[in-house]
Amino acid sequence: MPLFAALQIRYVALQQNWTLPTLTESLRNIAIIAHVDHGKTTLIDVLLAASGAVRAGKEIAERVMDSNELERERGITILAKVTSLFWNETRINIVDTPGHADFGGEVERILNMVDGAILLVDAAEGPMPQTKFVLAKALALGLKPIVVINKIDKPEARPDYVLDAVFDLFAALDASDEQLDFPVLYGSAKQGWMAKTPERAAQERVTNSVAPLFDLVISHVAKPVIVPGAFTMLATTLGADTFLGRVLTGRIRSGSIAAGETIKAIDRDGKLVENFRVSRVLAFRGLERKPIDRGEAGDIVTLAGMTKATVADTLCDPAVVVPLDAQPIDPPTLSMTFRINDGPLAGTEGSKVQSRVIRDRLMREAEGNVALKITAGEDRDAFEVAGRGELQLGILIETMRREGFELTIGKPQVVFREDDNGNRLEPIEEVVVDVDDEHTGTVIETMAARKGELAEMKPSGGGRTRLEFLAPTRGLIGYLPALLSETRGTAVLNRIFHAFEPYKGAIAGRRTGVLVSNSPGVAVAYALFNLQDRGAIMVRPGVKIYEGMIIGEHSRGNDLPVNPTKGKQLSNVRASGKDDAVTLTTPMTLSLEQALSYIAEDELVEVTPKTIRLRKALLNPHERKRAERAKAPSAA
């Protein structure tokens, strides 16, 4: 009888067009926007604990949202992840937004899944340029952010100043009056409380909780808008699950979906991508993704079962013909050739060296990463890997290296295109540099050498200036380390893809040649000491050397063959490495990113789990000569 009664009510409701309380009545989807270190992870830990989704003290210590070790090291979040919790019968899905500009293209699609945002700002530091891009997109999409001024417990907290700065930032980003009227909470994620005033009203001190934030989310953020009709969902992020294979996450716009149902995927133009049977519907529960019976409109879910469908496609009922609006996937702007390590030291430091293993690993990466394009290179030992910039590709190389791979990587190349008239176009980025006033001139000068055009210059407070440029990606390769050294580490750089524009002309590359070893062996202090006059040395005594390896930078424009293995007397006893009492200057060491931007066209970076070496692509000097001669007539 109860079942019948329920059905009857539903039937009457349908007849009368009543709205029944559904999932959407009690659901909120929000994004968190924060600069690195302003406390996003801590806040989410606290919210999870307060909601009971995670037992306090258990997983809390594990810095829940950014689980990837490399992300933490580089202080960025790469993948948007969702955490879900309940507060007073309301489900709140919290989406983490990528904070780094190289990944900015995903931001807009991700923000389309939510109806509100929390802008989390450090009470001492104030808003930082890194959050500007994400906030700008959120405001442009019409979201009305809640501002949380965190770390109020810090002695150097200056909440009034920070509030003013946030207001100015909103105004500068053309926020509407409604958006400018943002609600503010003050608090300490670390101590687990949020309050309406920085002084923390006595009563709120008693409650000592983050309830005010939950309440504000529920009252200020709109319920998800649900369009009536058959099932539709915009695929927003792509992932690869160990058991389920390809998975796509998005917010259900209309209808509902259960495992076993057959749906289709159509692209942005409405063209069929594939028909497939949904093998699993998963939703976020606490920190985990769990299978659910049915995904309902408004919720953020993950579907499995597709083989081809990707981000920006619409997953929908077979009867649907019109795709959901979607931003196109940002095009790759930079590519590198990943090759097997075929140097003399190959296989001595890593365990994964064969081209098949490298190929499988790259294919697996591309499966879960929409921004990567992998194509077979000119021979079967090489792969072209195209992505969205140095940071993304650098992280991939670093990850593979930690997994035991050995690789050689060629000079990064920007991806060119042609317009309809056959003119060459290249990727241009918007670059924002915040720097101490005294370094402004230097930065403008070095950016000009890299074909960066100054678009705007204004004081950003506290003796600092903000410089905005439009610059070709080509000129920005390796720019960050250079910028940091010329500003004594004080500059903050942000970049984001702008557009493909006509080629900006040649940019001068490295002006010096290199010191190339002409013999194999072990570097000897005595030999290195004698080579110091020729340029900066990159190796230490005792390291293994091979013919064609780059051991230093020549102070002149040409490459110089040298022998770093030659001891004072070539007796077996003396050539051991730590022979002579000579004083060597500290060798020049290059990080992976520096090495990639340092090498010339005919050079490679050799990457192993233990070492980064530079080498000539052709190790044999005669082969190098021949290649040079073959190139000479056309190089004029």
Q: 10 Å Cβ neighbour count for 254?
A: 19
Out of 93, 131, 150, 237, name the contact with ligand GDP by CB under 6 A.
Answer: 150
Q: List binders of ligand GDP among 614-633 (CB under 6 A).
A: none
Q: Give CA–CA dist 381/248, Å, rounded.
A: 31
Report the residue number, 154 or 294, with the smaller CB distance to ligand GDP. 154
Q: Give CA–CA dist 429/102, Å, rounded.
A: 10
> Is the Cβ–Cβ distance between 89 and 256 less than 8 Å?
no
Minimum CB separation from ligand GDP for residue 552, in Å?
38
Q: Which listed range, 36-44, 245-253, 284-292, 538-546, lies at the site for ligand GDP (CB under 6 A)?
A: 36-44
Which residues have a Cβ under 8 Å from the Cβ of 369 and sit 6 or more positions away?
238
> Is the Cβ–Cβ distance between 335 and 413 less than 8 Å?
yes
Minimum CB separation from ligand GDP for residue 158, in Å?
14
Q: Which listed range, 32-40, 106-114, 230-238, 471-479, lies at the site for ligand GDP (CB under 6 A)?
A: 32-40
519 dihedral zone (left: phi>0; alpha: psi -120 to 50; beta): beta
Surface-to-core class of residue 507, CB atoms within 10 Å of its CB (0-12 exposed, 13-18 middle, 19+ buried): middle
Minimum CB separation from ligand GDP for residue 194, in Å?
10
Contact string 104-143 vs ligand GDP (x = CB under 6 A):
----------------------------------------
Report the residue number, 188 or 337, with the smaller CB distance to ligand GDP. 188
In 191-347, beta strands by DSSP E: 193-195, 232-234, 237-241, 245-254, 256-258, 262-266, 272-277, 280-285, 288-291, 294-296, 300-304, 314-316, 334-339
The SS3 assignment for 531 reads helix
Minimum CB separation from ligand GDP for residue 606, in Å?
33
Q: Give CA–CA dist 312/238, Å, rounded.
A: 10
Report the residue number, 123 or 414, with the smaller CB distance to ligand GDP. 123
Out of 28, 29, 30, 40, name the contact with ligand GDP by CB under 6 A.
Answer: 40
Contact string 50-89 vs ligand GDP (x = CB under 6 A):
----------------------------------------
Q: 10 Å Cβ neighbour count for 609?
A: 15
Q: Give CA–CA dist 461/612, Å, rounded.
A: 40
Report the residue number, 75 or 183, with the smaller CB distance to ligand GDP. 75
> Is the Cβ–Cβ distance between 604 and 617 less than 8 Å?
yes
Report the residue number, 39 or 567, with the smaller CB distance to ligand GDP. 39
Report the residue number, 154 or 498, with the smaller CB distance to ligand GDP. 154
Minimum CB separation from ligand GDP for residue 39, in Å?
3
One-letter identity of residue 196: K
Q: Which listed range, 38-46, 202-210, 557-565, 624-632, lies at the site for ligand GDP (CB under 6 A)?
A: 38-46
Minimum CB separation from ligand GDP for residue 128, in Å?
11
Helices 129-140 & 104-111 angle (0-180, nearest 10)? 40
Surface-to-core class of residue 534, CB atoms within 10 Å of its CB (0-12 exposed, 13-18 middle, 19+ buried): middle
Report the residue number, 185 or 238, with the smaller CB distance to ligand GDP. 185
Report the residue number, 395 or 614, with the smaller CB distance to ligand GDP. 395
Report the residue number, 131 or 256, with the smaller CB distance to ligand GDP. 131
Main-chain phi, psi angles of 381, to 5 degrees? -100, 5
Contact string 151-190 vs ligand GDP (x = CB under 6 A):
x-xx---------------------------------xxx
The SS3 assignment for 104 reads helix
Main-chain phi, psi angles of 180, to 5 degrees? -70, -20
Q: Binding residues for ligand GDP, how many (CB under 6 A)?
A: 15
Minimum CB separation from ligand GDP for residue 633, in Å?
55
Decide if residue 37 touches ligand GDP (CB under 6 A). Answer: yes
Which value, to the nearest 10 degrees, does the dihedral of the CA atoms of residues 549, 551, 553, 556 take?
-70
Q: List binders of ligand GDP among 186-245 (CB under 6 A).
A: 188-190
Out of 28, 39, 78, 471, name the contact with ligand GDP by CB under 6 A.
Answer: 39
Report the residue number, 51 or 150, with the smaller CB distance to ligand GDP. 150
SS (H, E, C) 583-635: CCCCCCCCCHHHHHHHCCCCEEEEECCCCEEEEECCCCHHHHHHHHHHHHHHH
In 473-531, beta strands by DSSP E: 492-502, 514-517, 521-522
One-letter identity of residue 214: F
Out of 30, 31, 34, 316, name the contact with ligand GDP by CB under 6 A.
Answer: 34
Out of 27, 31, 33, 36, name the contact with ligand GDP by CB under 6 A.
Answer: 36
Report the residue number, 53 or 292, with the smaller CB distance to ligand GDP. 53
> Is the Cβ–Cβ distance between 535 and 515 less than 8 Å?
yes
Minimum CB separation from ligand GDP for residue 251, in Å?
24
Report the residue number, 39 or 535, with the smaller CB distance to ligand GDP. 39
Report the residue number, 153 or 342, with the smaller CB distance to ligand GDP. 153
Out of 23, 29, 38, 617, name the contact with ligand GDP by CB under 6 A.
Answer: 38
Which residues have a Cβ under 8 Å from the Cβ of 10 and sit 6 or more positions away?
20
> Is the Cβ–Cβ distance between 303 and 238 less than 8 Å?
no
Q: Give CA–CA dist 321/115, Å, rounded.
A: 26
Minimum CB separation from ligand GDP for residue 35, in Å?
7
Minimum CB separation from ligand GDP for residue 185, in Å?
12
Decide if residue 280 touches ligand GDP (CB under 6 A). Answer: no
Report the residue number, 84 or 130, with the smaller CB distance to ligand GDP. 130
Report the residue number, 24 or 150, with the smaller CB distance to ligand GDP. 150
One-letter identity of residue 352: K
Report the residue number, 185 or 409, with the smaller CB distance to ligand GDP. 185
Decide if residue 450 touches ligand GDP (CB under 6 A). Answer: no
Spacing of C-alpha 636 from chain mean position = 40
Q: Give CA–CA dist 585/541, Å, rounded.
A: 11
The SS3 assignment for 435 reads strand
Out of 29, 41, 51, 237, name the contact with ligand GDP by CB under 6 A.
Answer: 41
Residues that bind ligand GDP (CB under 6 A): 34, 36-42, 150-151, 153-154, 188-190
